[in-house]
Structure 1
Amino acid sequence: MATFMTVLESDLRALSAEARRRYPAVKDAAEHAILKLRSLASPNEIAHDEDILGIFLMACEVKNVKLSVIGLSCLQKLISHEAVAPSALNEILSTLKEHGEMADESVQLKTLQTILIIFQSHLQPDNEENMAHALGICLRLLENSRSSDSVRNTAAATFRQAVALMFDHVLRAESLPSGTFGSGRYISRTSSFASDMNRNVNSLEFLEREVISEGSSLSRNTLSKFGKLGLCLLEDLTTLAAGGSAIWLHANSIQRTFALDILEFILSNYVLLFRTLLPYEQVLRHQICSLLMTSFRINSELEDEAGEPYFHRLVLRSVAHVIRLYSSSLTTESEVFLSMLVRVTALDLPLWHRILVLEILRGFCMEARIMRILFQNFDMNPSNTNVIQGMVKALARVVLSVQYQETSEECLAAVAGMFSSKAKGIEWSLDNDASNTAVLVASEAHTVTLAIEGLLGVVFTVATLTDEAVDDGELESPRGDTGPPTMCTGKTAMLCVAMVDSMWLIILDALSLILAKSQGEAIILEILKGYQAFTQACGVLRAVEPLNSFLASLCKFTINMPSEVEKKSVILSPGSKRTDQLVEQRESIVLTPKNVQVLETLAALDRAIHSPHATTQMGLFLSEVTLEVRVMVVSSQARSWRLIEIEMLQLLETQRVNKYKQIG
């Protein structure tokens, strides 16, 4: 404390020296304040003495740059040490408003620093007039055409921090837990989809526990004084984001992008306000959602800032927050937003726009809890549309479209490169001298990669929820089960069955195409992980048709089928004998790395018989399938390649029928 008093006395001496020639009144007041300061022992005593604060306000009033900088610096110290009475806030804000209008950059920056310190202190405004006054100073400096870039950036950062501090205070005033557990920022991608899924599930489980523990479902209509201030700010920000004028903040206009950015920040970090307080929910439902629907434009030729990619990104992120965090209460709005997102993927829009939408859809697919909530609210509700099935179809359509592109091979090679880079933990990038064609191919590959990752996210969602159903006892451990398949009755189990029934064929078509067309080790490994996870989930859920179909698809990739040209060249070779043809045909069987990976996947499924998540029938079935495939590879002899393929596909159904006959 002695240090604070010493520093304050030193500042008063500097003020006296600076004002000595031109401002004798300030000099005399500073010297008087030095004497007064020596008789005071604590910040509390300073707060009750108007002379100390008065000299610094007097120094600011003369509007000399050096005196103003000293005066504002001392004001900051007084406020930080709680040496200012709350009753002085009006006078301080008036002084700051005048200094915000000065042209000197250093004074403007000091003004913004003082505003932030006020919000961090006991002087934080608690009425509409002072709050609007303080925030308005930041907005005017932000939008002043004469402000330097440094001042604008500082004003934007100060306003954002002030808003965060204000809403933190609203949470405390409304007796709600503080913190940003509802943050909607998507979790960064790791080198493994399993890791991504686990991290997202853990994050969302934490969110659900927080919401439930605080009883946020008990909505209330009354607001505290600070709650009303937050509501006023929210309404004005929505108006500004729509291009209007804010009455409460006294701001004619600011950049729509900035206002929308602040709204997105509030939506993602203060979830309990909207879930608990009905006035906030009403603003979200009727004003913010209306703004987002209006801004969700598909015309890429807009000339104002609403046509800029960054504005679209903010709109899409805000839409994602509404769906992700508020779909349970905003069912209709979320259904509309999801339908709009799905529809955009099929439109002829710029690639950057499609990529933004696919990033959002991929984010949903990677979060098992969100997929569960959305599927329950929409696809399993007869009165709503099957939006999740539509989303999966849209992702599959993007993947399947790659086979019709003129640059299909280049695109698939780029996709494989992206998966390979991710597996190594590095960012995939183009060469600096890449041509426009290469950039276009890379952008197309990025859309395909996002779609594949989204489909794999759905696959691992099904697997994750199936494991949860087993852990909750909804599905009994099927190990050793020799009876006929039983119906799933648990809530989670029924949801998993419904998800499998509505999506398995769509997913299989897309993943099998990528598995057939790709050669990169990393992408093949990820696809096969998806095959394995989905197949095991189908086994636990007794989903026979999807199980057999995924296994049949796997078996098609266990050996490398020679092309028709290669087969004819062997058969039509002049002078060759039949035995020579058979030997040459048998010797032409070469297991590619892809074949080996597929066989390893089948072997892993074979070993699943030792897992409590696998039936005895499934284990015997997989063992015989794996063994039979290996026999086919090493002893094909005179059978035609087509016959081998047909036999592998027929084997699945034969084995299943035989097992049920044995049971019967």
Structure 2
Amino acid sequence: MLWQLMENSLEELKLLQTVLVLLTTNTVVHDEALSKAIVLCFRLHFTKDNITNNTAAATVRQVVTVVFERVVAEDERYKDAVDQPAAVQGNINADAPYWLVGMTEMTRTFGLELLESVLNDFPQVFLQHQEFSFLLKERVCPLVIKLFSPNIKFRQGSTTSSSPAPVEKPYFPICMRLLRVVSVLIKQFYSLLVTECEIFLSLLVKFLDADKPQWLRAVAVESIHRLCVQPQLLRCFCQSYDMKQHSTKVFRDIVNALGSFIQSLFLVPSTGNT
């Protein structure tokens, strides 16, 4: 009945309120019914009405939190929660939905926001369960590296006429949320993702290159700062990378990149006048 009301654009705000009550007051909604409830909220999030849109976004955030709270409260029943982040990741990557069946639209910005929230609020779930650890290594990390690509390739002021394909420009909302996800992955899951974190840190350092847009460099500095204020994490970088013969000298590269970035801020551009 709720699904039919959604498809007919009837009582949309009350629909969202009803879904939230159903999911927060009991645990009888799970599996396919839970999937449809989440899809219902997502689809209402992409309506043209701003009030419905914003209410649905808030409802989606609450529903995602509720599902993971179930995992914490009742550890032996966590199938729905395993399906949920995998489904969100798939939608960010524009894959065909396999659990959130009925999804017609999804933005990377909203998907990355949800992913960051789940990773930041429920790290123990991903660390304690092999299924979630597998999702991090095999689904989330490749997605993050893929989204890094246009930001790494883009060079400010360069022309793309000689290249076979135009280089996609960095998009601030995606970059900002992407770097937040990377920060959470490194801070919360470094012990699980040592190899992946080496890649993330190397890519993050490249964001400080002089040929990158200034706003992108500033966002990268903020992300690096979140990591550098944790002495234990810096010690791990040195032990896992810099002190090993064939590993990337991550800590050294971070220091050098920050030094170059700071120096560039004090350079006065030449005006050509004497």
Alignment partner of 1:227 out of 78, 81, 102: 78
Residue 65 of structure 2 is matched in structure 1 by 164
In the alignment, residue 99 of structure 1 is paired with which amino acid? L
Distance 1:115 1:347 in 2: 49
Q: Deviations over 1:88-112 (max 9, x none)?
A: xxxxxxx2212223435xx110110
Structure-2 residue corresponding to 1:98: 4
Change (3 A) 1:143 1:245: farther
Pick one of 110, 116, 141 that aligns with 2:44. Answer: 141
Task: Give the Å deviation of 1:328.
Answer: 1.4
Distance in 2 between residues matched to 1:122 and 1:389, nearest whole Å? 52
Q: Which residue, out of 232, 239, 244, partners 2:90?
A: 239
Match of 2:198 among 327, 335, 344: 335
Residues 356-384 of structure 1: per-residue CA shift (max 9 Å, x gap)? 11111111112223222322222233342
Partner of residue 116, structure 1: 20
Give the structure with higher Rg (CA). 1
Distance 1:300 1:307 in 2: 10
Match of 1:255 in 2: 107
User: Does the aligned pair in 2 maintain the 1:245–1:253 contact within 8 Å?
Assistant: no
> Structure 1, residues 24-47: CA drift from partner, whole Å, max 9, x if none?
xxxxxxxxxxxxxxxxxxxxxxxx
Q: Tell me whether 1:268 sits opposite 2:174 in the alignment.
A: no
**Counterpart-to-counterpart distance in 2, 1:300 and 1:151:** 39
CA distance in 1, matches of 2:116, 2:42: 18
Question: What is the 5 A alignment of 1:249-648?
Answer: 249-250=100-101, 251-296=103-148, 297-298=150-151, 299=154, 307-406=170-269
Q: C-alpha separation between the residues in 1 aligned to 2:57 and 2:266?
A: 47
Q: CA deviation at 1:230?
A: 0.8
User: What TM-score does the superposition give when structure 1 sets the normalisation length?
Assistant: 0.37
Identify the residue that residue 56 of structure 2 maps to in structure 1: 155
Greater relative contact order, per chain length (Cα 8 Å cut-off, separation 6+): 2
1:482-541 deviations in whole A, cap 9, x for unaligned? Answer: xxxxxxxxxxxxxxxxxxxxxxxxxxxxxxxxxxxxxxxxxxxxxxxxxxxxxxxxxxxx
- Aligned-partner residue type, residue 274 of structure 1: F
From the superposition, tell whether residues 403 and 355 of structure 1 become closer, same or farther in structure 2 (CA, over 3 Å): closer
Q: 8 Å contact 1:328–1:377 — kept in the other structure?
A: no
Q: Tell me the alpha carbon deviations over residues 171-213 of structure 1, each in whole angstroms, 9 at most, x when there is no partner.
A: 2222xxxxxxxxxxxxxxxxxxxxxxxxxxxxxxxxxxxxxxx
Q: 1:562: which partner in 2? A: none
Deviations 1:368-423 (A, max 9, x none): 2322232222223334222011101111111223443238xxxxxxxxxxxxxxxx
- Is the 1:120–1:165 contact (alpha carbons within 8 Å) kept by the matching residues of 2? yes
Percent same amino acid at aligned positions?
27
**CA displacement at 1:134 relative to structure 2:** 1.0
Q: Distance in 1 between the 2:244 and 2:82 partners?
A: 33
- CA drift of 1:116 comes to 0.7
- Residue type at the aligned position of 1:273: V
One-letter code aligned to 2:177? L
Divergent runs of 4+, >4 A: 300-304
Alignment CA distance shift 1:307-1:345 (3 Å): closer
| Contact 1:102–1:108 under 8 Å retained in 2 | no
Q: CA deviation at 1:300?
A: 7.3
Residues 386 and 114 of structure 1: is their aligned pair in 2 closer, same or farther, counting only changes over 3 Å? same
In the alignment, structure 2 segments of 5+ residues that lack a partner are 157-165
Aligned length: 257
SS of 1:245's partner is coil
State the Cα distance separating 1:291 from its structure 2 match: 0.3
Q: 1:406 to 1:300 in 2, by over 3 A?
A: closer
For 1:169, the aligned partner's letter is R
- Aligned CA distance change for structure 1 residues 377 and 319 (closer, same or farther; 3 Å): same
Structure 1 unaligned regions, length at least 5: 1-94, 175-223, 408-664
Task: List per-residue Cα deviations over 1:79-138 (Å, max 9, x = no partner).
Answer: xxxxxxxxxxxxxxxx2212223435xx11011011111111025513x11111111110
Query: Aligned-pair RMSD on alpha carbons?
Result: 2.1
Q: Distance in 1 between matches of 2:196 and 2:265?
A: 32
1:130 alignment partner in structure 2? 33
Q: What is the CA–CA distance in structure 1 between the aligned matches of 2:140 and 2:71, rounded to whole Å?
A: 19
Deviations 1:285-333 (A, max 9, x none): 01100000000122379898x8420111111111111111111121110
State the Cα distance separating 1:351 from its structure 2 match: 0.9
Q: Deviations over 1:604-632 (max 9, x none)?
A: xxxxxxxxxxxxxxxxxxxxxxxxxxxxx
Q: Provide closer, same or farther for how the CA distance between residues 247 and 399 of structure 1 changes in structure 2, counting only shifts above 3 A.
A: same
